[in-house]
Chain A
């Protein structure tokens, strides 16, 4: 499976600011996914990012709030814009890779606290 890293691992931010989260994969992958996990909750898909095309957002998530870039086949960024305390969550990126394209493998996550 692919090895996925995320930066930063955690951050504390002030409301109204923006944070960009980076996701790096050790091999070229077609699809990358961004999830949000609010405290004590399950994972919710924010968007799917394919290289060379605009990200596809799930219902309830919009590009102005969560702009995503996918400049190449190993890297993606998610920006959380104009943050409020409700954005405090773990943000995880994932991808499918290798012989088992039906399986998603996840990065270590970014813990975000918005004050």
Chain B
């Protein structure tokens, strides 16, 4: 069975601080996909990034970066120089079935204070 853990329930930072959101996953499958989604107060779920299990290359997109480490089964998300607009709930998700059977973590609520 698959499982995703996001140990940080809530995080508060002051604007311009860097913040890292942790995600730890469990699966026995060798092929899997990891995702991060952002859910702002409006409620929609916004796709941020996908990573497959064969690609451990870290990725940077503007102020966002992701660190994928298979050795520790982690897929952490860092926001550099946080902004108020980054305030949202962030979900990490895992899929072993190519588009199906997504397992979502419990989410981390990030509050960025001005």
Contact = CB atoms under 8 A, between A and B. Distances in A.
Nearest to B52: A102
Q: How would you classify the secondary structure of chain B's contact residues: helix, strand, loop or mixed?
A: loop
A42 B95 CA distance: 15
A48 interface: yes
A31 B100 contact: yes
B43 A42 contact: no
B107 A42 contact: yes
Interface residues of A, number: 23
Contacts of B47: 1, 103-106
Interface string A38-52: 000111010010000
Given A42-B105, A102-B50, A111 B98 contact: no
A113 interface: no
A98 B93 CA distance: 20
Nearest to A1: B47
Given A43-B91, A108-B42, A103 B107 contact: no
A1 B63 CA distance: 22
Interface string B28-46: 0000010101000011111
A4 B107 CA distance: 23
A64 B98 CA distance: 29
> Which of A101, A102, A111 counts the most chain B CB atoms within 10 A?
A102
A109 B45 contact: yes
B44 to A, nearest CB: 4
B99 to A, nearest CB: 4
30 contacts: A1-B47, A31-B99, A41-B106, A42-B106, A43-B45, A43-B102, A48-B100, A92-B45, A96-B99, A100-B50, A102-B33, A102-B50, A102-B52, A102-B95, A102-B98, A103-B33, A103-B35, A103-B47, A103-B99, A104-B47, A104-B99, A106-B37, A106-B45, A106-B47, A108-B42, A108-B43, A108-B44, A109-B43, A109-B45, A111-B43
